[in-house]
Amino acid sequence: MNKARLVLLASGDGSIAQSIIDAVKSGELDAQIVGLICDQPEANVIARATGAEIESFLIPMQPDRRNWDCEIFDKLNSLRPDLIVSAGFMRLLSSQCVANFRIVNSHPALLPLFPGAHAVRDALAAGATQTGTTIHWVDSGVDTGAIIAQETVEITPTDTVETLHERIKIVERRLYVATLQQLLTNLVRS
């Protein structure tokens, strides 16, 4: 049987993407990464993908959002992924994308608490004593898809946004890889 085809979506440094790349390379994750789509030309994740010999596709946001949506959809369609892995991709995908592909995302909070781009800051501002990470299916909302897995991270009195986010990322990377392997094991292949 062929290995499951993954496409990574990322916008930034790529530490989460790197954990997935490393897990595929080591055999911990039984899959092949067939491409990385990035919307930011200066993102470090592109260098990470290049270093791992993964083809990267730069698709920056366009003035006409519909053209960008079509370009993303067409590229995903051409890559024929079994699963799309959003690894720090800071864009919402079109309803056409989420209706036609299986897409999973990680989020640095215990959803449904603190959705959106500032989850760590929002948890600290709310005075929460714990937060964590959530792996969830992507739907057409903002962090509203069905939850697949979660893990808690305690918030300490000395935490800043940066220190808390780094501790969440450590848990997030491990949980994401484990959850992806479980999803791929259960994935019905045609």
The residues annotated as belonging to the active site are 107
DSSP class of residue 24 equals H
Strand pairing of 130-137 and 147-154?
Answer: antiparallel
Q: How many angstroms separate the CA atoms of 62 and 3, rounded?
A: 34
Rg of the chain in Å (alpha carbons): 16
3-state class percentages of the chain: helix first, strand second, coil last, to nearest 5: 40, 25, 40
